[in-house]
Amino acid sequence: MTIPSAPEVKKKDETERESESAEQVVTPWEVSAKDGEKIDYYKLIVKFGCQRLDASLIDRVQRLTSRPPHVFLRRGVFFAHRDLTEILDAYERGDKFYLYTGRGPSSEALHLGHLIPFMFTKYLQEAFKVPLVIQLTDDEKCMWKGLTVAESKRLARENAKDIIACGFDVTKTYIFSNFDYMCGAFYQNMVQVGNYVTLNQAMSTFGFSGTDHVGKLSFPAVQAAPSFPSSFPHLFSGMDNLRCLIPCAIDQDPYFRMTRDVAPKLGYSKPALIESSFFPALQGNNKKMSASDPNSAIYVTDTAEDIKNKINKYAYSGGQKSLKEQEELGADLEKDVSVKYLSFFLEDDSELEHIRKEYGKGKMQTRDVKNRLTEVLTEMVERHRRDRAAVTDEMVDAFMAVRPLPSMFE
């Protein structure tokens, strides 16, 4: 993905920015582009007021961590940030930070788009040697999807297994469900955040209306609280100045714009963010995968046969209608979902470049690209399934235990 330089953005109260425009909608609950168009990430950066994650910053990450940058960084999947420069400045001076990410456990099976923040967060944890908290928002799913408390909690544990299967280090990682972990220290931060956001602001930032239930109004503060180290006395006691870095998809930005506005009023640092684009649906680049349409996504529970069929049947092709036309005109790489998917998951830069080149000038057919994608995803999904099968209930208990993380900065 090519992202032009972000222009200077007029400073204003971050929550004051609108989260909707006539052209495209990106909120925590809705992501849609104009018909037939892609999400314009450049416009999102300007609208949300975040910064472009440019090559010099990626080089700096490489230098500070002494390892190649993750493919999601090299390929611009994580493309925007807030205050990452400050986090790296401090890291260079020897100041650590902690990572915070999360998941709303609305379904049993995760799709590939769900894995992206966790794959990337695992890389960050290993590269920077820092602790990580993962919030499972079972309460959110009870509020928005009408799930029972018991069902939300069950899904949270099931999803925790998929997350653990991504390879997190149990000595550095605390996974928690809001329904289970909620405690005084966390609630104190929730209440304090709620004291600085008016109902009008919440309605404008998150699009709440009078017919929404009041529980929803309290949720932004629940998602904000883990940005402050004091929400975790068992981890960060006496470390109130520890900074927080949040890897997430850019649709979560409204929550953290609000959090960043409030943080200094509570005496905390603003959390920094590193934000990804969306993993598109098989049907095209302009939609996010949806858990409600099983054919829009590849699931970690899909068989090799499922994966092959879904790619062959649904993956939107940028190739031409006939072999002859394809040989003459080549494929439209920008619209081709298989090429897009390969850009996320085919790690070999030279092979990806070869495919783009050959397919783009018509020397490769859609079928060939789909076959290669099928191989890559089948291997990836089968590896994930093996890893997930090895995650026991005892391991889930271990990750979710309220405990210190003794080797969290090693």
The minimum distance between CB 109 and a copy of itself, in angstroms, equals 25
Residue among 179 and 316 whose Cβ is closer to a copy of itself: 179
For residues 382 and 374, the answer to whether their CB atoms sit within 8 Å is: no
The minimum distance between CB 39 and a copy of itself, in angstroms, equals 29
Positions touching a copy of itself (CB under 8 A) are 139, 142-143, 146, 149, 178-184, 186-188, 190-200, 202-203, 208-218, 220-221
CA–CA dist 30, 257 (Å, integer):
17
Q: CB neighbours of 372 closer than 8 A, spacing ≥ 6?
A: 342, 346, 355
Helix (H) or strand (E) holding 244: strand 243-249
The minimum distance between CB 194 and a copy of itself, in angstroms, equals 3
At 137, give phi and psi (nearest 5°). -90, 65
Helix (H) or strand (E) holding 389: helix 366-389
3 to each of 19, 79, 229, 347, how far by Cα in Å?
A: 20, 8, 33, 21
**Residue linked to tokens 């919440």:** 202
Residue among 77 and 197 whose Cβ is closer to a copy of itself: 197
The minimum distance between CB 102 and a copy of itself, in angstroms, equals 16
The minimum distance between CB 65 and a copy of itself, in angstroms, equals 37
Residue among 51 and 205 whose Cβ is closer to a copy of itself: 205
Kindly calculate the radius of gyration of the chain based on its CA atoms and give it in whole angstroms: 21
The minimum distance between CB 206 and a copy of itself, in angstroms, equals 10
Residue among 257 and 356 whose Cβ is closer to a copy of itself: 257
Compute how many other C-beta atoms are within 10 angstroms of the C-beta atom of residue 256. 27
Residue among 191 and 390 whose Cβ is closer to a copy of itself: 191
The minimum distance between CB 143 and a copy of itself, in angstroms, equals 6
Residue among 58 and 183 whose Cβ is closer to a copy of itself: 183
Q: In what order do the strands lie in the sheet with 280-281?
A: 25-26, 31-32, 284-288, 280-281
Query: By C-alpha distance, which of 283, 216, 261 is closest to 48?
Result: 261
CA–CA dist 395, 180 (Å, integer):
17
Residue among 88 and 156 whose Cβ is closer to a copy of itself: 156
CA–CA dist 55, 287 (Å, integer):
27
Residue among 68 and 146 whose Cβ is closer to a copy of itself: 146
**Three-state SS at 243:** strand
The minimum distance between CB 162 and a copy of itself, in angstroms, equals 22
Residue among 80 and 136 whose Cβ is closer to a copy of itself: 136
Q: How many residues does this entry show for the chain?
A: 410
Quote the Cα angle for 366-370-373, to 5°. 145
At 288, give phi and psi (nearest 5°). -85, 150
Compute how many other C-beta atoms are within 10 angstroms of the C-beta atom of residue 305. 9
The minimum distance between CB 149 and a copy of itself, in angstroms, equals 5
Q: How would DSSP label each residue in 168-182? A: --TTTEEEEEHHHH-
Beta strand 272-276 pairing with 243-249: parallel
Residue among 68 and 264 whose Cβ is closer to a copy of itself: 264
CA–CA dist 300, 382 (Å, integer):
8
The minimum distance between CB 250 and a copy of itself, in angstroms, equals 23
Residue among 199 and 389 whose Cβ is closer to a copy of itself: 199
The minimum distance between CB 197 and a copy of itself, in angstroms, equals 5
Alpha helices in 239-348 (DSSP H): 253-262, 304-314, 323-329, 337-345
